Structure 1
Amino acid sequence: MRVPVAGGELAVLRWPAAEPGAPVVLALHGITANGLTWARVAHHLAGRVTLLAPDLRGRGGSGTLPGPYGIGAHADDMAAVVRALDAGPVVLTGHSMGAFAAALTAVRHPDLLSALLLVDGGVGFPVPAGLGPDELISAVIGPAMRRLSMTFPDRAAYREFWQRHPAFAGAWSPWVDAYIQRDLVGEEPALRSSCRLDAVRVDGTDQLGGAVADAVHQLPRPAELLWAERGLMDEAQGLYDERRLTAAGVDRALLRTTRVPGTNHYTIVVGDGGARLVAERLLTAAGVS
C-alpha cells in the first residue's frame, strides 16, 4: 500500500485479517531493515489480526522519501498511517530502532494505540565514548552500517553477504531471504541497499539520547519489552541484561521486561521461536486468543 505522509508516500506492507473488524497491529522495523522484518511474525499471527508493517522513511519502498529524518519524523509518519487508514487504536510494536520510534509515537500520539510491545530496543544502552556519528553507529550495528556504502554484482552475492553474518548461522529461511532481498535497489552489477545513509545517520544519532531515549520513561500506558539473550553479532552480551535495564532506570511497573532465551538481536523477530513469541504477545495485547 502507499499512504500519504509529509513529503510523499510511505510504502506499507499489509497482512489482512481473515475476519473483518479484527484488531490492527502496526509494526516498525530496525534502522537498516524494511517491513518484511515482520513476515515470520505475520506467519504466526495467522490472520487473527491485520498486520501493517511500513518501510520507514528512507528505507525499502519508502527509500525515496525526503527528509527531514529522525525518530520524531517516524513517529509522525506512523500517526499519519493510522489516521489515513482509519486503523486506530492499534497495537503498536517496534524492533530495535523501531522500538524507539514506537515508544516516541506512544508519547506523542497516545490516542492512537491500545497497547505497546517493544522488541530488543526502546531503552537506552551503553555505547562507546569519543566516536564520531558514523563510527558510533558502526560500533553499535556493525556490518549493517558498512553495507550501505557497498555494491553487489547480483542478488546471490547479497544473499552470501548476509549468510556469512554470525547472527543468521543456522537461522536462514525463506522469510530472512525475502527480508534481505527487499532491501536491494539499482541494477546489476551495482545493486545496493535501499537505506539512505543520511537517514541512518540522523536516526542512529537520534536514538542514543535526548527526547527519544527519554520516551520509554514517559509511556502513557504500561508496556512490555522482550529482550534478546544475545547481541547483533550473536555475541553473548546482548543489547540488554538485567544490570543494564536497572542502570537505565526502567520503571518495572510501567515496562515489564522479559528475556527471550535462544535468540539474538535479529532472530528475536526473524527466527521461528522468537517470531512465535512476539506473535503470541501481540495477540494477547490485541485481546485475541
Structure 2
Amino acid sequence: MSIEFEDVGGQRIARFGTGPRLIIAVHGITASLMAWGAVGRRLPDGWSLVAMDLRGRGHSAAMPGPYGLPRHAEDVLRVAEHVGAGPDAVLTGHSMGAYVAALAGARRPFARVVLVDGGLPFPPLPEGLDPDAALEATLGPALARLRQTFGSPEAYVDFFKAHPAFAGHWNDDVEAYVRYDLTGPEGGLRSRVVSEAVMEDGRWMRLESARIGAALQAITSPLTLLRAPRGLLDQEVGLLPDDLALPWAARLPGLRDEVVPDCNHYTILFDDHCVSAVVDRLTA
C-alpha cells in the first residue's frame, strides 16, 4: 500500500493510494489517521483516501485549541481544499469523525457523505448527569489509556490486545494503528492524544445535539449511515441502536441506513469483511 505523509499548517495528513478519485476521511475521538489504514489498503484502482490527524491527536497533537467539532470541520474543509477535493470527492468519518463529517458536509457538496457508526445526535443527558461523566462511562478504556504511561511499545500493544473490542480480532492493521499513537521516551511512553481535546470535543458532541441535527438536515449530498451492531466494548447493543437510528432515517428521506453484520464499533474499520463493506459503500 502506498502511503504519503505531509504536514499542512501543523496538521499531519496521509494519502493512501494514488488514484485520482478522492475520499476525505475523519477519525474518532481518541484515534488517529491510521484508523483508516485498512480501508486505504483495500481501495480499488483509481481511488485514494486522504486522512488527517485531528488537532490534539496523532502528529497534530501540538495544534492548539480551542477544540470542538466545528473547529475540526474547518480543518477538514481546509485539508480537502489543499488536496484538490472537488464536488466529486467522497467525505466519510468514523465515530466522532462522523459528526465532524456531518458538519463539514453541510457546508459544501460532496459526491456522497458516508457516516460510519456515528453522526446521529444522542438523546439528551438525564437531568443532573455531567457530560464528562457520561463520556467516561461511554469510552472506558479509551480514556483510561490517556492517563497511563507504558514501559515499552509491546506493553502498549498488550494494553490494546486486552481491549474487549479487539479480542479475537487482532491483525497487522490494528497493530500499525496502535504503534502510530505512541510518543515519549522508553519507559515513559504514552498516547499522543491530548486529554483536553477529547474532553472538550466530547462535551460539544453531547451538548450540541440540535446543531448536529441541523447539519444532517442541511446536507444535500447523498447520505449513507453504516452502523455496527455491537458497541465500543463489543457489547450486544451498538453505539447507534435501532431506536436511535430509525427515527432519523424516517426524518431524513435521503439517508440510506445500513447495519454491517458481525462488526463492533472498532472492527468496522479493521476486520476484513467489515472493511470490504465500508470500501464498497465509499467507492460504489
> Is this a same-fold pair by TM over 0.5?
yes
**Aligned ranges 1:251-266 → 2 under 5 Å:** 251-266=251-266
Match of 1:225 in 2: 225
3-state SS in 2 of match to 1:2: strand
Q: 1:178 aligns with which of 153, 176, 179?
A: 176
Given that residues 217 and 252 in structure 2 are in contact (C-alpha distance below 8 angstroms), is that contact kept between their aligned partners in structure 1? no
Partner of 1:137: 135
* 1:273-284 correspondence to structure 2 within 5 Å: 273-284=273-284
Q: CA deviation at 1:126?
A: 4.2
Cα distance between partner residues in 1 of 2:250 and 2:168: 33
Query: What SS does the corresponding residue of 2:51 show, helix, strand or coil?
Result: strand
Q: CA deviation at 1:133?
A: 3.6
Looking at structure 1, the residues matched to 270 and 106 of structure 2 have their Cα atoms a distance apart, in angstroms, of 27
- Residue 114 (structure 1) aligned to one of 87, 111, 117: 111
Distance 1:60 1:243 in 2: 34
Q: Are positions 1:56 and 2:54 aligned together?
A: yes
Q: 1:236 Cα shift?
A: 0.3
Q: 2:122, 2:247 → 1: CA distance?
A: 9
Bigger mean CA deviation after superposition, 238-247 or 270-279: 238-247
Give the equivalent residue in structure 1 for 2:96.
Answer: 97
Kept in 1, the 8 Å contact 2:26–2:52? The answer is yes
Distance 1:275 1:249 in 2: 23
**SS of the residue 1:207 aligns to:** helix
1:2 has 2:3 as partner: no
Secondary structure at the residue paired with 2:15?
Answer: strand
Give distance in 2, aligned partners of 1:47 and 1:175.
Answer: 20
**RMSD of aligned alpha carbons:** 1.7
Q: Secondary structure at the match of 2:277?
A: helix
Contact in 2 for aligned 1:107/1:219 (Cα 8 Å): yes
What amino acid is aligned across from residue 79 of structure 1 in structure 2?
Answer: L
TM-score (norm 2): 0.92
The equivalent residue for 1:287 is none
Q: CA deviation at 1:157?
A: 0.7
1:154-233 maps to which residues of 2 (within 5 A)?
A: 154-210=152-208, 211-233=211-233
Give 1:247 shift.
4.5
Distance 1:127 1:163 in 2: 33
Counterpart of 2:238?
238
The structural deviation recorded for 1:220 is 2.0
Alignment equivalent of 1:34, drawn from 32, 35, 41:
32
1:267 aligns with 267
Unaligned runs of 5+ in 1: 285-289
- What is the distance in 2 between the residues matched to 1:127 and 1:184? 35
* Structure 2 Cα separation of the partners of residues 30 and 107 of structure 1: 19
1:234 counterpart letter in structure 2:
D
Q: Partner letter of residue 228 of structure 2?
A: A
- What letter matches 1:16 in structure 2? G
> How far apart, in 2, do the equivalents of 1:250 and 1:222 lie?
15
- The one-letter amino acid of 1:131's match is L
Identity, in percent, stands at 41
Amino acid paired to 2:269: V
Listed one character per residue, the Cα deviations across residues 116-144 of structure 1 (whole Å, up to 9, x for unaligned) are 00000000234753333432211121110
Does residue 16 (structure 1) correspond to residue 20 (structure 2)? The answer is no
Q: What are the Cα deviations for residues 181-221 of structure 1, in whole angstroms up to 9, with x where unaligned?
A: 11111111111111111111111111124213542233222
Superposed CA deviations along residues 132-179 of structure 1, whole A, max 9, x for unmatched, are 343221112111011111111111111111101111011100100000
Unaligned segments of structure 2, at least 5 residues: none
Distance 1:126 1:163 in 2: 32
Structure 1 265/163 Cα, relative in aligned 2: closer, same or farther at 3 Å? same
Partner secondary structure for residue 145 of structure 1: helix
Residue deviations 1:44-98, cap 9 Å, x none? 1144301101111110011111111111111100111111222323200000000
Instruction: Note if contact 2:166-2:267 (Cα within 8 Å) is conserved in structure 1.
Output: yes
Gap change, CA 1:229 and 1:127, over 3 Å in 2? farther
Distance 1:2 1:49 in 2: 18
Counting matched residue pairs gives: 276
